[in-house]
Amino acid sequence: MIFETVSSGGCRSYLVGCEETCAAVLIDPELSQLDRYQALAAKDGLRIHYLVDTHTHADHFSGTRQLARQLAVPVVMHRLSPAPFVDLRLEGGEMLAVGRLRLQALHTPGHTRDSMCLTLQDRVFTGDTLLIGATGRTDLPTGDAGSLYDSLFGGLLRLDPALMVFPAHEYKGRTHSTLGQERAENPRLQKSDRDAFIEMMQNLNLTMPTHVTEALRTNMSGGKTVAQMLADAAAIVPFMSLDELKATLEHRPDEILVLDVRERDAYEAGHIPGAKHLPRGQLELRVNDELKDPTRRILVCCEFGRISTLAAATLRTMGFMGAVALDGGMKAWRDARSPLAT
């Protein structure tokens, strides 16, 4: 077996390959690490055959769908996953054949309804069902403390205690544990009475994950994250530096139209002298009336440079191919003590 662990903050992904056939599976890939996974597979001489999410993640952005498009391989999840882009849906007890390796699914609802673990030879990939020294939380959508108790004490913990535990999250740098160690030392597993376990899980008072709504939305639907939308826009939009804009306005002001896409109160409080105002939310509806010349060079600005990137990309898709975005936005303009009109 060829085995690689990829850490991204507290998230863990696992690349598992068959040494004999070079077939591989990637478990719980994270969106920001796509190039790294492919580089690791190439280093080890592996070809990824399956992309697996152990559950619908709420605390990070899954990379399965985007990587599946790049590699033309199936996305694998449990049958109860709500994601419409899943190609292969597993039931508990079913296996994935990865060369000579066999990964068997164990349905372990609780953290989410679609949670599953995967056993492979001497190890088990536990997703968020069982962590090192903890368990997955049950207060997020489709979570259920009673189901988690049943999955742990009625399923996962009945497997061979020597099985190594590789969870989807680890924040203290530990590589793995074993089922036996967790059963003996994990504080949450000391509550072996079902009612006591449920009461404990319902009173953890944990803070909500960052971007939980966005993560659930994108992981369940396959939609784009805000970061993806910005990256896609930035890929088709040129940027102009503050110095270049100042030089152009000073020496060749007729060559450029400055378009401020902030809301009216922000524009009126201070804008680049001569800038035209067209709020981003009205851009598509008013652009034909406000921007008469589609060949004009248009410098789009906002507060920090993000909304203007989206706006410039929109203008380019509408045929205004001279649209560019101000690098750093109005904040950079003010920080440079540049003149403002009000």
Whose tokens are 């292969």? That residue is 88
Which residues share a beta bridge with 5?
A: 14
Across 143-166, average pLDDT:
97
Which residue, among 285, 280, 243, 238, has the nearest Cα to 259 in the 3D structure? 280
Average confidence score pLDDT of the chain: 94
Asked whether residue 217 carries a pLDDT value surpassing 90, the answer given is no
d(CA 278, CA 259): 7
Across 334-340, average pLDDT:
93
| pLDDT value for 214 | 81
Confidence of residue 228 (pLDDT cuts 50, 70, 90): confident
Confidence of residue 313 (pLDDT cuts 50, 70, 90): very high
Q: What are phi and psi of 25, to 5 degrees?
A: -130, 140
Confidence of residue 128 (pLDDT cuts 50, 70, 90): very high
What kind and span of H or E run contains 264?
helix 264-269
Across 12-20, average pLDDT:
97
| pLDDT value for 40 | 96
Confidence of residue 9 (pLDDT cuts 50, 70, 90): confident
User: Rounded to an integer, what is the distance from CA 169 to the centroid of its chain?
Assistant: 14
| pLDDT value for 161 | 97
Across 315-331, average pLDDT:
95
| pLDDT value for 213 | 78
| pLDDT value for 144 | 95
Confidence of residue 222 (pLDDT cuts 50, 70, 90): confident
Asked whether residue 187 carries a pLDDT value surpassing 90, the answer given is yes
Q: What is the chain's Cα-based Rg? A: 26
| pLDDT value for 307 | 95
Asked whether residue 221 carries a pLDDT value surpassing 80, the answer given is no
| pLDDT value for 77 | 96
d(CA 15, CA 49): 11
| pLDDT value for 205 | 86
What kind and span of H or E run contains 277?
strand 276-277
| pLDDT value for 175 | 93
| pLDDT value for 58 | 85
| pLDDT value for 157 | 96
| pLDDT value for 89 | 96
Across 318-323, average pLDDT:
95
Give the amino acid at 153.
F
Whose tokens are 């599946």? That residue is 68
What kind and span of H or E run contains 333?
helix 329-335
Q: What is the pLDDT of residues 190-212, one digit of tens each?
A: 999 999 999 999 999 888 777 77
